Amino acid sequence: MNIKNSFFIKFVIILLYSSFLSLNLSPKGFFSGVIEKAKTAYESVKQGVKSKIEAVKSFTAKEMEQFLFLSDVAKKYITKKRTISEYAENLKNIFKNSIGQIDQVLDDIIEDAYFATPKIDLWKEFLVHSKKKSIENNKNWFDVVFNKNLLQDQSYSKNEGINRILYYCGNENFENKNPIILFLVHGTFASDSPELSKVDDKSFIFSSIKDFAMLYSNAKQRPIYVISFFWSGKNDYIHRMIGGALLAQYIRSVRDNVSEVITIAHSHGGNVVNFASNVLRKRHFVQRLSGSIVDSIDLMINIGTPVRQNVDKNFASYATVVLNFYSLGDAIQLIGNIDPIHDIWLKNWAARKASSKKDISVYNVATKINGNDPNHSYMKSMLSDFFEIYQKIQFYKIHRSLTLNIDVHEGKKSFSQLVIRYDVSPEGAIANQVLKEREFSDKEHADFRKLYGKKDINDRGSNVDRFLRGLISQMSEPIS
């Protein structure tokens, strides 16, 4: 069987299987039209890949427009005397010669555009000297009043910036301490999201984030700013880079005056944060404590983020602690890994886990909600009572591949189980800690089995079944 026929047969199987799951077809009409649909789907994918290859070869007008836009952004913050036409000429030559060199010119643009002295002083102009307006029925919470138009004028374009800034201080004795900064970053097509962008106090997810911020602030005995950051939300890596570059400027402008920087991001918002972390790391904008490197982001929380670092090094995660939450039922995360520009043969489309790195604590947490693998949008529900989850994660010092279940019901307190996914051998000095973590994990396992009728929290099930159920579940909800 040749590759083409094999690919076609897979489409037939997927469509048949998804039709069975949806249970919308009568037995008589089940096969009617399925072959035609498979042919259409196959031809569509084949044509899509073909057009991407042609785009790489010819450098299409649309892509030229995107790169010219990025170059225009670069010009605004330029330090070297390059022009838009020079950038465009470089890009043309690269596409004529080798797609593998595209990162070189992108790095040049980033170097010129984003590593200059920040034009935006978020700390002085928009945080510490701004007025604070108390929020009704929210004790110790305040809205920070800032000039959004001024902030927009200083940004790269009207598609990136800040929608809202909140301030919390649970004790007046903490007010003079360096605060914590928490940035919220939405995903693709979600720039109007009431949860992470145009945040609404009535939103269950945003209320959960505020609860986490309050408990974290109280535990650290410091005030906290919660900043809802927005970017264009367009589904291409150029706009994720532009959003990440601005976020890096914001982080750089506050870093010297705050105790911690935390990010919470969903979907490709995590890649906006990842790119910001790379921008800051490339400029060595890091703290050096006791001879070790500590990155500019202290705690990075990515939820359902397509892991692109295997195909594009600019989207790796760099933070002191990285919490990467993924669901085996998240079909959108898999689709979001497809990158026909850097990975033209689509070899790395299924990556869910962030890679471990020296001096960085990377936790990969397979996530269940109410005992099931959630779809892409529903993943955000795990933020309910997230402080408790964060505390449990801190218990695991050695095991960093974990499985989480959180029992979520709006209006009720959530509770969770967090267990070891892949065990570590108890050797040497770490043996006692490994055994403690195993003992804790076993107790969490038992709690899950008691709650869900002896079901195994680490049960993976069928890959195809999981993917299709996640895809069908997602179809009834907006992608964000």
pLDDT band at 294 (very low <50, low <70, confident <90, very high): low
Question: What token pair was written down for 413?
Answer: 């307190």
- For residue 43, tell me if it sits in a domain: yes
pLDDT for the residue 186:
96
User: Higher model confidence: residue 210 or residue 478?
Assistant: 210
Amino acid letter, residue 170 = G
pLDDT(188) > 70:
yes
- CATH number of the domain at 392, please: 3.40.50.1820
pLDDT band at 98 (very low <50, low <70, confident <90, very high): very low
Nearest of 357, 358, 452, 360 to residue 403 by alpha carbon: 452
> Lowest mean pLDDT: which of 5-9, 293-297, 316-320?
5-9
- The position carrying tokens 């109280």 is 218
DSSP letters for 1-17 = --HHHHHHHHHHHHHHH
At 200, phi and psi to the nearest 5?
-120, 130
Spell out the residues 6+ positions from residue 237 whose beta carbon is closer than 8 angstroms to its own. Answer: 271, 308, 312, 315, 339, 341
pLDDT for the residue 366:
95
Average pLDDT over residues 308-334: 83
Same domain, 337 and 231: yes
pLDDT for the residue 19:
45
- Please say which residue of 68, 87, 116 terminates a domain: 116
pLDDT band at 77 (very low <50, low <70, confident <90, very high): very low
- The mean pLDDT value of the chain amounts to 75
- Please say which residue of 116, 132, 149 terminates a domain: 116
Same domain, 2 and 96: no
Answer yes or no: are the C-beta atoms of 104 and 69 closer than 8 Å.
no
pLDDT for the residue 465:
67
Average pLDDT over residues 355-383: 89
Same domain, 263 and 133: yes
Same domain, 225 and 104: no
- For residue 480, tell me if it sits in a domain: no
**What burial class does residue 440 get, using C-beta atoms within 10 Å of its C-beta: 0-12 exposed, 13-18 middle, 19+ buried?**
middle
Same domain, 63 and 137: no
Task: Give the highest mean pLDDT range of 104-118, 154-168, 320-334.
Answer: 320-334
pLDDT(84) > 60:
no
pLDDT for the residue 476:
58
Same domain, 16 and 76: no
- For residue 407, tell me if it sits in a domain: yes
What is the enclosing helix (H) or strand (E) of 165?
Answer: strand 161-168
pLDDT band at 31 (very low <50, low <70, confident <90, very high): very low
> Lowest mean pLDDT: which of 92-96, 311-315, 387-391?
92-96
User: Higher model confidence: residue 280 or residue 171?
Assistant: 171
Rounded distance between C-alpha atoms, residue 366 and residue 8, angstroms: 31
Rounded distance between C-alpha atoms, residue 132 and residue 381, angstroms: 29
pLDDT band at 357 (very low <50, low <70, confident <90, very high): confident
pLDDT(354) > 50:
yes
pLDDT band at 35 (very low <50, low <70, confident <90, very high): very low
Same domain, 438 and 471: yes
Question: What token pair was written down for 260?
Answer: 């911690």
Task: Count structural domains, the chain.
Answer: 3
pLDDT(146) > 60:
yes
Same domain, 436 and 360: yes
pLDDT(51) > 60:
no
pLDDT(329) > 90:
no
What is the enclosing helix (H) or strand (E) of 103?
Answer: helix 102-114
Average pLDDT over residues 444-457: 87
Nearest of 114, 161, 167 to residue 145 by alpha carbon: 167
Same domain, 172 and 109: no
Spell out the residues 6+ positions from residue 85 whose beta carbon is closer than 8 angstroms to its own. Answer: none
Helix (H, G, I), strand (E, B) or coil at 334: helix
Same domain, 294 and 193: yes
Same domain, 291 and 238: yes
pLDDT for the residue 11:
46
pLDDT tens-digit series, residues 370-395: 999 999 999 998 998 899 999 999 99
- For residue 218, tell me if it sits in a domain: yes
The pLDDT > 90 percentage for the chain reads 31
> Lowest mean pLDDT: which of 176-185, 270-279, 455-464?
455-464
- For residue 96, tell me if it sits in a domain: yes
Amino acid letter, residue 473 = S
First-to-last alpha carbon distance for the chain, in angstroms, is: 39
User: Higher model confidence: residue 157 or residue 321?
Assistant: 321
Question: Please, how many CA atoms are within 13 Å of residue 327, restricted to the half-sphere of its CB?
Answer: 32
pLDDT tens-digit series, residues 243-288: 888 888 888 888 889 999 999 999 999 999 998 888 787 655 555 4
pLDDT band at 316 (very low <50, low <70, confident <90, very high): confident
Task: Identify the domain containing residue 112 by its residue range.
Answer: 59-116
Same domain, 189 and 313: yes
User: Higher model confidence: residue 425 or residue 146?
Assistant: 146
pLDDT tens-digit series, residues 413-447: 778 999 999 888 777 768 888 899 999 999 999 99
pLDDT tens-digit series, residues 197-216: 999 999 999 999 999 999 99
pLDDT for the residue 337:
75
Nearest of 328, 326, 349 to residue 471 by alpha carbon: 328
Supply the angle between the helices 84-97 and 61-76 in degrees, to the nearest 10.
140
pLDDT for the residue 27:
36
> Lowest mean pLDDT: which of 77-91, 229-243, 365-379?
77-91
Average pLDDT over residues 152-173: 82
At 454, phi and psi to the nearest 5?
70, 10
